[in-house]
Structure 1
Amino acid sequence: MVSVGILLFPEFQMLNLSTTTVFEFANLEMPQPFYRVDLVSEKGGLVKSSMGFAIDTVPFGLRPYDTLLVAGDNDVLEASPGMLAYLQQAMLKSRRVTSACTGSFHLAAAGLLEGRKATTHWYHARAFRQAYPNVRLEEDRIFTVDGPLWTSAGMTACLDLALALVENDLGVEVAREVARKLVIYHRRAGGQSQFSALLEIDPKSDRVQTALAYARQHLQEELSVEQLAEVAHLSPRQFSRLFRSETGQTPAKAIERLRIEAARLMLESGDHAIDIIARETGFGDPERMRRAFLRAFGQPPQMMRRALQLQA
């Protein structure tokens, strides 16, 4: 059985406890429970959360953990000397040491992230860079993996991190089934931007949200207004008018942003040829994708790829 310790401290962010449900549902997929999850703290007992109520914990020195997950908080609180010493010991005893949200500040304070890549909540990225200049902060990532150290971005990104841990242990099918039962998308790739195009488009009604979700899952298709209107159960004229009133842009422009986001992710996370990326994301041909990248980023995909290679 894989032991998971979730390290809490006063004023920890409550959303981080949602990771326990990912491990719970992974257990339900197996013939026998695969994970044992403990909530741990420096002294054990009740630990006050960011919402004001307390959660019961056990002292963190009782047993070692295969996987340790450090919670984050809302205000980047300073870790105690005892907590930093425990993290340094955990690095020697645990297979994986992970953090959610601003928990990466505690890993960095313990010296675990020196020279390594990490991420954190975008809101605190500048403060992280100033405090820990030797950490290779990738502030536009959902989560990062650098050997035994895993870090996630803020808030719901902890779910992506937990699903990635399950996938690492039990395979992609188990992780996908857990995501389905939690009624969330199968985990976002670690390299995906924290700033989703869907969040920026910000549709209000269920009909427009449904059409955009369908579009993101079918980017290889033509995705005409008529096709999206049918998904939204509206006439093309009604759909176009509703879409523009909710998002301030045309359906065609929004679909292009979704395609650019998908193409950029493929560009950053693999060695796919440009023409394959263009085909897989629905641009059809490299020239059409090049023009879209110039509008969005001011540079073509090839130049972005070279910059990424030089950075690596």
Structure 2
Amino acid sequence: MPVEKMPQELTNPEIASLARTAKETADPVKGELVFRKSNLTCLTCHAIGGAGGRIGPDLSSLGTSSPAETIIRSILYPNASIKEGFELQRVAKKDGTELMGYLVSNGTSDIVLRDVAGQEVSIPKSQITIIEKVPGSLMPAGLTASLDKEEFINLVSFLSKLGESGKFRVPTARFVRRWNTVSASKELARKIGTDGPGYIVKENAKVLWQPAYSKVSGELPLDELPVIDANTGKRYSFARFDIEVVSKGNVNLEMNSTAGLNAWVGSKPLKLTDRGVVTDLPQGIHTITVAVDRSLHKDVPLSIQLLDAETAPAQTRLVIGR
């Protein structure tokens, strides 16, 4: 029998029935996998734990403020209810250009607008001719039309549990959540086969990076990372993240497993122990790159936690966002 597709128009009793099913029998673990599907682009606009898009609201505590019925309506009819602070604004400037986005701040001499790419843009008021609200939401209707009914219900179950006690509350521990991964290509595979995985951190490396995000738990699933076949019997995946060192000192990165991993800060190799690495870093933003040998690092997600070093700890924070 063909799988039943999720209808995009529902009556109030149908919404109530779906909400009950989502609460009582659905699988939120499977729902998180649906949420992370690239074709839904949820993380392009929304963040969890600060990692993800900044166009829509952060969803970390959605389940504590919105019941399942409200979530269903928000998905199917995004224009019906706009969260406060996410009313779309149109700004027309004297030079004839226009910007669309959300108003972040309204100062005495300028405004700050978060545009549709999630970037904050400061605009002097002296350059503005019109600021007006635009009806509707940037979230289009029909995003879940490709899902079957079971996938949709599992998705709602996951969203309705975000922020509640248990496995769908973002941990207070400082797990890396915002990553970039390497897109596979024949040229990159050839270079890594010739130069080894360290090619990835060379200044002249031709590499296309794309965003990736950890699950609520802080784990980055390996099966979501592109695999590069180096034609030497080795298959690699790569991921990198940024740390801001506010005051210099030792930085402690604890890893759930270092089997098959190589790591660099900038282009400098890091010496990993079985627990991760402690390294002395100066003030500034530093990129940590990890190469995963897929033949040695199997069936274990990538999980890295930023801890305070025992001696001479640096003051640090993880760079999050899109």
Normalising by structure 2, what TM-score?
0.25
Normalising by structure 1, what TM-score?
0.25
Decide which structure has greater helix share. Answer: 1
> Per chain length, whose mean CA-contact separation is higher, i.e. which structure has more relative contact order (CA < 8 Å, sep 6+)?
2
